Structure 1
Amino acid sequence: MKIRPLTIEGAYEVTPVQHGDARGTFLEWFRFDALAEVLGHRFDLAQANLSTSARGVVRGIHFADVPPGQAKYVTCVSGAVLDVVVDIRVGSPTFGAWEAVRLDDQERRAVYLAEGLGHGFCALTEGATVAYLCSSGYRPGHEHGVHPLDPALGIDWPAGDPLLSGKDAEAPTLAEAQAVGLLPRFDDCCAYVESQRS
């Protein structure tokens, strides 16, 4: 398993080793110990989610209040998606930046993103199925979104006319979310991650 950092602090791309023969393929898509070694702390699993999406669906940009926030380990088990990590942490050196990784059922990559980062994806195929491991459970009133088509973010979604949920379509822009104090602060996120290491 190869784990490499993305340009946004707290985000990683994970590429598993696949073992294949005439019967099919076997791989370890998540290794607790390998991830903990890179992160410097445990990734506690509290909830596992699965979504299927039609081609052209964009989900996100989602995030949770920190603390505790919600770290995620995301992979695409069927089809393909363009997975996007957005730095929405006020005060971060890469605030407003985003990075994309293709997740599909061929390379079997995964993405890990720390608490306080925004997450979204675009389905590149019909019935794209995404599995998420989450460090905390869903907490109504503590989970939020930033509009995925915010021109200030300028995410290059590979969909001519993206399909959004009503909630995502009504989400504030990054600037609007910052103005009302909805976004996590970089220092708070770093302090929370550091508290997990001790």
Structure 2
Amino acid sequence: MDGENPLRLAVVIGSVREGRFGPTAANWFLEQVAPRTDVDVDVLDLADACLPDRLGTSPVPSEVAAVGPRLEAADAFVIVTPEYNHSFPASLKTLIDWHHDEWQRKPVAFVSYGGFCGGLRAVEALRLVFAGLHAATLRDVVSFHGIPASFDAAGRPLDAEAKAAAAKTLLDELTWWARALRDARAARALG
């Protein structure tokens, strides 16, 4: 598919901790996306978004209002998440909970990282949350285990070839689902 009608991909960097690894993983993933002409990327770094953790305030805080249209415009999402205490960070839950309709009937893929499990427990927990929002999570995941030792000083994974192949599989599946769901949303809105 060429760039005539590219998909809008939102890449969400989910950690806001000081000294976080998220930007390294996200930058590597963005390098994998860069050659593709079938996607336009919007990077949403939650450390910059500064979303309030007190939900349901009225009027909607300006930080929340600024993020909503970016999520709404996306045809697909890639969530870059660490694993904290066998789950995902509170900053991601805050983002998800402030928004509802923006996620619906769109595919969500994951790039995860962490220690022994490589963030996979965070991914499994996120699958349940996104199912409740009628979002379609993908089976394929890019997972980095043993962070930061599995990356070199330049921010490249030591097993670069295998990770690049995993990213290609993820992107191919994600774009298929994104296109199918975008077409379905356009053809038939739920009442």
Q: Same fold (TM over 0.5)?
A: no
Relative to its length, the structure with more helix (as a share) is: 2
What TM-score does the superposition give when structure 1 sets the normalisation length?
Answer: 0.32
TM-score for both structures, normalised by structure 2: 0.32
The higher relative CO (CA closer than 8 Å, separation ≥ 6) is in 1
